[in-house]
Structure 1
Amino acid sequence: MPRFSIVVPSHGVAGRLSQALDSVLAQSFGEFELIPVCDGPDAPTAGVATGYAERDCRVAPVHSPPVAGRAGARDAGLRAATGDWLLFLDGDDVLVPGALAALDARLGKTGDVDVLYFEHERTPWWVGEPTNPAAPVLAGTPDGVFPPERAPELTGVRLPAWSAAYRRAFLAERHLTFPAGHFTDVGFGGLVVLSAERVAVLRQVVVRHLLRRQGSRLDLPGEHHFELLDQAELVLAQAAEQGLSGERLGPLFEQLFAAVLKTAAHPRRLPGRRRAFFRRASGLYRRYRPAGFRTPAGSLGVQHRLLASGSYLAFRALRGANQAVARAASGVPRPRGLRTRLRYRRQLRRRLDRNLAVYCAYWGRGYVCNPAAIHAKARELAPHIRSVFLVEADRAHTVPKDVEYAVIGSREYWDVLARAKYLINNADFADAVVKRRGSVHLSTQHGTPLKKMGADRATYPVAAATGGFAGLPARVDRWDYSLSANRHSTEMWERAFPAAYETLEYGCPRNDVYCTATAADVARVRGELGVPEGKRALLYAPTHRDHATGFEPGLDLQALCEEIGDEYVVLLRAHHFYDRGGARGAGRVIDVTGHHSSEDVCLAADALITDYSSIMFDYANLDRPIVVYADDWDVYRELRGVYFDLMEAPPGRVARTPGELAALLRDGSYADEEAGALRAAFRERFCEFDDGRAAERVVRRVLLGEPPEALPPVVPLAERSPAPAATTLVRS
């Protein structure tokens, strides 16, 4: 029997789950079992948990349906637990180093207490100093083992479930489980203290909790706030049944109604039924108010008295006055120029246009990438929705003639941004764009991440120096959906951009063409790019390096062509930061950096040579050879940061020097059986959802509102037929 059972509900935290599990498995004290609770066998977190279970026998995943919520997930873990002591972590939590050893030592001194409370640290994911809110709660408690009567302020309702260790036999004897619904920590914490006889405290941080930028999901608007009243009533009714002393009942009552009043005074949490919430809270207040209870001082005391008297109109007036002061102290982001600001503000007051969608790609670089693919499919499946593409003025000429566009910064640009219901981007809209209630923001992303992104860049000085951090939290908070091409992306986006959006594991729309293009399409594109007939085309696509200035190819391409033979030509595609316009030929090296479509360029290529560019994940859908040219991998990994070791799991052969690369191409080993096996494993991991129907799934779900179960299912990898390569390539 293990000393500790550690239960980790994982709903919605695929990107952070590995950190939580790693923090447990790295503990110096090893007598534990780790129980990740996943939504189901096909959930993103299930794959993460299963991988850990295969590597460590102490990891034993269980399943709980999402509809059961956090309470159901914790109860599922509780039922599976076999340890003497139970710990509950959220998926955003980590155990600090030495935590289990400290708990074991403290429990060795206290004996079989029912509950051991400890401190925890709340750490902002972006800016701000860590806080330890449990420290003042536990400060006034006795040093040794004590009954709850000796610490009446320790009611349990102000501490999360993951701020204590529970004796499993105690929970079983008292039939204590997590109350269903939201705010389950309030009910569970209160019932535990009401049932406990012997408790103790460890004045040391054991758990570090990551605070999400948008705050707790419990703070979001909705009817679930009524469940706070359910939890408060559950605890107060139990206290009344036990005949709890006035000395203990007073602090319990005050702490519960501090939470209730905070919600009642927060109109955004209860957009529709604030009066009903207040009325029910008032009834509970009068029913359970302890004899002789003295209201707090100041504004909170006024709120107590208004709640006791049921004076909703007076309470609303007080709340309105407080909000007016807050509004006066805040500002609204605005576009530049007085006339434009006034026009934008007027447009924001108009009704949303529910048949208007706005698209943008790469900060206005043109009609490209995922937004363009979704736009094209929307015109087919949702022709009633007007679609406007946003582009910079110098790129307007590249937009197809039948596509409506607006130049970034123009009056029309601000008009459509103010009124569109749907806003779709592969990067981010300007900081000044206001997220309106009822609007839908979709971040399509622009590739599977190898290098660190978003908030994860902050610890890498070179990446951090590129800027864009100041407004990142507010921009991410606008997202309603984030698109993912594979489970790896799902996990990394949730880490890099933690917010309340829903992840759509639908595939990468720009990659649809790799499953739908024909041999004629491939021949057409090769002709447009100037690939000579009968030649093998090698696409060389290096990534941008934050530590470099300007574009340097990294390879002497003319020299490479001389070494590998006349049957090859090289298509050079630099990162889009170095777009120089047009497809230009120079002997056997054709510069295709300026060609509008990276998808076309990939279709034309018989093989890909890249370093660390995300193009490798897209190109893998074609099931054609890939060579990784990694002459500076160690430098790039240290300065830019990466999510996994590409050298351990490459999509094909790896070359470290120009000579190694030339040898691979000369002898054909770049496309041999071993290269094919590496590519197959890479495709299995990263081409999971790219089956040619990603754009359709997005349009049906986001623009047409179809339920997930009605969308086209993902075609298994083995059943897909990638676009054929040119006949000059001998396929492995």
Structure 2
Amino acid sequence: MLKLSVIVSGRGPLPHLRACLDSVTGQAHPALDAVVAVPDGDAPARALAEAHALRDPRLTVVPVPPDASPAAARATALDAATGAYVQFLHPSDRLPEGSVAALAERLARLAGNRPAEGGAGRAGKGPAGPPAGGPPDALPDVLLCDHHRATWWDDAVPGDDAALLNRGFGAPATTLDRRPDLLDVAPLLGNRLIAAGLLAAHPELVRTDGHDELYLSYATLLLARRIACCDTVALVHRHERPAQRRAAGPERHFAAFGQYERLHHLAGATAAPPALRARLYDRMVGDYLRTLARRDELPDADAAEYFRRAADHTDRFRPEGHRRPGGLDGVRHALLGHHAHLCYRLLRIANDGRRALRTTAARQARRAAAARTRQRYRRALRRPVDEDLAVFSAYWGRGVHCNPAAIAAELGELAPDIRQVWLVEPDRVPLLPPGTDHAVPGTARYWDVLARAKYLVNNVNFPDAVVKRPGTVHLQTHHGTPLKRMGVDQQAHPAAARGLDFEALLARVDRWDYSLSANTHSTETWQRAYPSGFRSLDYGYPRNDVLYRATAADVLAARAALGIAPGTRAVLYAPTHRDYDTRWMPRLDLPRLARQLGDDTVLLVRAHYLHTDRPTVPDHPGILDVGRYEPVEKLLLAADVLVTDYSSVMFDYANLDRPVVIHADDWETYTLTRGVYFDLTAEPPGPVARDQAELADILGGGDWCGEAAAKLRHDFRLRFCQYDDGRAAERVVRRVFLGEGEESLPPVLPLDRRTPAPTPQEAVRR
């Protein structure tokens, strides 16, 4: 059995390193060993790595000097590796579950295949042969794999290499001479297994400063005698946001010059054929042009020097007879090759003007398309209603979330013959669960399904243009228990009512057939705030069913997904949106609070969903930004205590009967600008802090989980967890979709007879 070594080196946030090591030690394959290079002086990272090593003897921790270069750290770790193949990871990377076993199986299948005669490529330039214990000659020097990109804690987004890799899947190993297109596979170290023999034959690869990820990714392919492809997703690579790339500084962009220069010299030394050198050249120029296009990442002060150096490479390394691409890309390519920086800038200015004109034309085209769509929608409204079609939406097309998601899941169990279509914005489509039938707003199918569906389910409102047809059923699920004023109750609060057309709002409300409620307070509020003819369903919130159905294993899995180590207290900080402040900033000094709470506590920071596209969460080893983590119910299961101000998440979390602390530093301002339905500071679910010092004292002592806090929480639960008992979704589906009478629905279980999901401490004991 071939042994595989995973090497983790580099610096990254502690939660990312934890998730990375969990993903490595979670691989069950017996042929795996792992080496983690930890800088001396980084005590938290070393403690974390050594804790994993204690639990899994396959993992070895090696220290490196705190100022060690990436190459030195990789070399130190490689010396401790014993595998025939090596996979390099950054601490922010993860291994998908079962990937090592799948890769080992792929190598086993390749073991019986040998490359075709004459396929050695640049003979003598690869490794002389496998070392003792290394792979046999039939196996490749590099196995290229697929990868996913992780935008945050959301599901990974598929990369762009699947089609390219599938061309070689199932075939014996090939050579780069025959497949120069393999240079187009994303240049990531983690998406390839590299034979230890290749690295042993070329020690300079991992022992030379400046031979970083870009160089190593291409150099291993240039030196490999045999390359194979695999469609296994072997890596989840964390995709950096533009702000992170800017924070790294322009030095990262300039580092590419040295790496590409060495790559061209290596291509010459290995006698790479013209087609291969042209492919490498195209990759280089494409990278340079993409960097120049990122104006926000390359300051003007550096752009001219970057252009000069990119132009020098474009001119100097251009292969003889190379043909530039056509169209505008070819023009940019030519300007770069001729050092025409002024012309390049003028072209960019002209393109900006053309884009502005195209934007105007596109706007006019959209208006014409909208008119055609309205006409199509009117025609669809004349067709019969589809009795077996249900349309779902949540948070204005953000995906499969909240109460609609829980109802849809239950509907799939109790009435699988009813087809489900989700309305989802284009940028959210890649994050949908596999196989989710969906329609993008504004498209022809979007209006078709809205016109013909029997059932329409949303936790906000559908667009004004949607027509309520006779015989259709509109279910409004809402997305929280109201503390703040809602609907027409906002009229007395200008900050909240700014830009709100109450007549249009009530016209949308008039389409509701049912309004879902979790407690009497909500029922009465919805009836007053949204005066119309809908029927209230006092069934509980389906999204909270999981808070009663989750097992100890579910709780532990939720914490493991976030990288929360056993014994660590997880404090979920989830503030709400403020109408008087258009941009979200934490109202706490989070790094100071993290220091005050100690190393045994991690702060899970979740901004309101209106602000998740522009969060401001400081980078700190004790802080984890979970603003985009979905579903939120798993965050609730993972947390030991909730800290919030006025967010409705407190009503959901109270179902777990776990501690809640209120941080009400601007209560008077909030009540004045938004308006509230009751005094939270007088009827809280737990202790109330009016400033950060008071909050730190509460969390640092025992008040957050003492008897007084438990009594407040019990009274709060009696009032606001009235109908949540784990069977809300079933009641909704049976009543709304199956037409069962109230008398046949599961009765709501009294609070004293319910059993919430176990706490993290209880889950460990079970």
For residues 240 and 271 of structure 2, the distance between their equivalents in structure 1, rounded to whole angstroms, comes to 40
Q: Deviations over 1:530-574 (max 9, x none)?
A: xxxxxxxxxxx999983638999989xxxxxxxxxxxxxxxx986
Q: How does 1:82-97 map to 2 (within 5 A)?
A: 82-97=82-97
Q: Runs of 5+ in structure 1 lacking a partner?
A: 331-407, 410-424, 456-466, 499-540, 556-571, 604-614, 651-732
Percent identity reads 22
Aligned pair 1:548/2:651, yes or no?
Answer: yes
For residues 165 and 475 of structure 1, the distance between their equivalents in structure 2, rounded to whole angstroms, comes to 36
Q: How does 1:227-306 map to 2 (within 5 A)?
A: 227-271=255-299, 272-306=301-335
For residues 287 and 583 of structure 2, the distance between their equivalents in structure 1, rounded to whole angstroms, comes to 30
For residues 322 and 221 of structure 1, the distance between their equivalents in structure 2, rounded to whole angstroms, comes to 27
Q: Which residue in 1 is equivalent to 2:143?
A: 116
Residue identity matched to 2:328:
S
Match of 2:701 among 610, 614, 619: 619
Q: How does 1:208-607 map to 2 (within 5 A)?
A: 208-214=236-242, 217=245, 220-271=248-299, 272-323=301-352, 444=591, 453-454=604-605, 468-476=608-616, 479=617, 481-482=618-619, 489-490=622-623, 493=624, 546=649, 548=651, 576=664, 596=690, 599=693
Give 1:84 deviation, angstroms.
1.2
For residues 97 and 187 of structure 1, the distance between their equivalents in structure 2, rounded to whole angstroms, comes to 28
Q: Deviations over 1:52-82 (max 9, x none)?
A: 1111111112233564454443333222212
For residues 592 and 108 of structure 1, the distance between their equivalents in structure 2, rounded to whole angstroms, comes to 58
For residues 92 and 288 of structure 2, the distance between their equivalents in structure 1, rounded to whole angstroms, comes to 25
Secondary structure in 2 matching 1:138 = helix
Give 1:7 deviation, angstroms.
0.9
Give the conservation status (yes or no) of the 8 Å contact 2:245–2:297.
no
For residues 51 and 11 of structure 1, the distance between their equivalents in structure 2, rounded to whole angstroms, comes to 18
For residues 601 and 103 of structure 1, the distance between their equivalents in structure 2, rounded to whole angstroms, comes to 49
Q: Which residue in 2 is equivalent to 1:34?
A: 34
For residues 107 and 551 of structure 1, the distance between their equivalents in structure 2, rounded to whole angstroms, comes to 51
Give the conservation status (yes or no) of the 8 Å contact 2:5–2:87.
yes
- CA 443–205 in structure 1, closer or farther in 2 if over 3 Å, else same: same
- CA 215–87 in structure 1, closer or farther in 2 if over 3 Å, else same: farther
Aligned pair 1:16/2:45, yes or no?
Answer: no
Give 1:182 deviation, angstroms.
7.3
For residues 189 and 241 of structure 1, the distance between their equivalents in structure 2, rounded to whole angstroms, comes to 17
Secondary structure in 2 matching 1:36 = strand
Q: Which residue in 2 is equivalent to 1:419?
A: none
Give the conservation status (yes or no) of the 8 Å contact 1:226–1:277.
yes
Q: Which residue in 1 is equivalent to 2:165?
A: 138
Q: Deviations over 1:290-343 (max 9, x none)?
A: 01101112222111100111100011222334456678999xxxxxxxxxxxxx
- CA 146–46 in structure 1, closer or farther in 2 if over 3 Å, else same: same
Give 1:203 deviation, angstroms.
2.2
Aligned pair 1:165/2:247, yes or no?
Answer: no
Match of 2:233 among 205, 210, 214: 205
Q: Which residue in 2 is equivalent to 1:44?
A: 44
Give the conservation status (yes or no) of the 8 Å contact 1:3–1:85.
yes
Aligned length, in residue pairs = 469
Q: CA RMSD in A?
A: 5.5
Aligned pair 1:174/2:202, yes or no?
Answer: yes
Residue identity matched to 1:132:
G
For residues 36 and 305 of structure 1, the distance between their equivalents in structure 2, rounded to whole angstroms, comes to 45
- CA 317–451 in structure 1, closer or farther in 2 if over 3 Å, else same: same
For residues 553 and 128 of structure 1, the distance between their equivalents in structure 2, rounded to whole angstroms, comes to 26
- CA 590–643 in structure 1, closer or farther in 2 if over 3 Å, else same: closer
For residues 584 and 684 of structure 2, the distance between their equivalents in structure 1, rounded to whole angstroms, comes to 43
Give the conservation status (yes or no) of the 8 Å contact 1:85–1:167.
yes
- CA 548–628 in structure 1, closer or farther in 2 if over 3 Å, else same: closer
Q: Which residue in 2 is equivalent to 1:59?
A: 59
Give 1:201 deviation, angstroms.
1.2
Give 1:247 deviation, angstroms.
1.7
Secondary structure in 1 matching 2:701 = helix
- CA 602–70 in structure 1, closer or farther in 2 if over 3 Å, else same: closer
Secondary structure in 1 matching 2:182 = coil
Secondary structure in 2 matching 1:60 = strand
Q: Deviations over 1:503-538 (max 9, x none)?
A: xxxxxxxxxxxxxxxxxxxxxxxxxxxxxxxxxxxx
Residue identity matched to 2:180:
P
Q: Which residue in 2 is equivalent to 1:125?
A: 152
Secondary structure in 2 matching 1:61 = strand
Q: How does 1:68-83 map to 2 (within 5 A)?
A: 68-83=68-83
- CA 649–105 in structure 1, closer or farther in 2 if over 3 Å, else same: closer
Q: Deviations over 1:346-384 (max 9, x none)?
A: xxxxxxxxxxxxxxxxxxxxxxxxxxxxxxxxxxxxxxx
Give the conservation status (yes or no) of the 8 Å contact 1:582–1:593.
no
Give 1:266 deviation, angstroms.
2.3
Greater shift after overlay, 90-99 or 193-202? 90-99
Secondary structure in 1 matching 2:34 = strand
- CA 590–34 in structure 1, closer or farther in 2 if over 3 Å, else same: closer
For residues 627 and 66 of structure 1, the distance between their equivalents in structure 2, rounded to whole angstroms, comes to 45
Give 1:112 deviation, angstroms.
3.0
Give the conservation status (yes or no) of the 8 Å contact 2:576–2:646.
no
For residues 548 and 582 of structure 1, the distance between their equivalents in structure 2, rounded to whole angstroms, comes to 12
For residues 702 and 32 of structure 2, the distance between their equivalents in structure 1, rounded to whole angstroms, comes to 41
For residues 611 and 156 of structure 2, the distance between their equivalents in structure 1, rounded to whole angstroms, comes to 19
Residue identity matched to 1:285:
T
Give 1:130 deviation, angstroms.
1.6
Residue identity matched to 1:124:
T
For residues 653 and 310 of structure 2, the distance between their equivalents in structure 1, rounded to whole angstroms, comes to 63
Aligned pair 1:106/2:188, yes or no?
Answer: no
Give 1:158 deviation, angstroms.
3.5
For residues 358 and 50 of structure 2, the distance between their equivalents in structure 1, rounded to whole angstroms, comes to 50
Q: Which residue in 2 is equivalent to 1:4?
A: 4
Secondary structure in 2 matching 1:30 = coil
Give 1:245 deviation, angstroms.
1.3
For residues 90 and 280 of structure 1, the distance between their equivalents in structure 2, rounded to whole angstroms, comes to 29
Aligned pair 1:189/2:214, yes or no?
Answer: no
For residues 197 and 176 of structure 1, the distance between their equivalents in structure 2, rounded to whole angstroms, comes to 17
Secondary structure in 1 matching 2:180 = coil
- CA 127–58 in structure 1, closer or farther in 2 if over 3 Å, else same: closer
- CA 223–321 in structure 1, closer or farther in 2 if over 3 Å, else same: farther
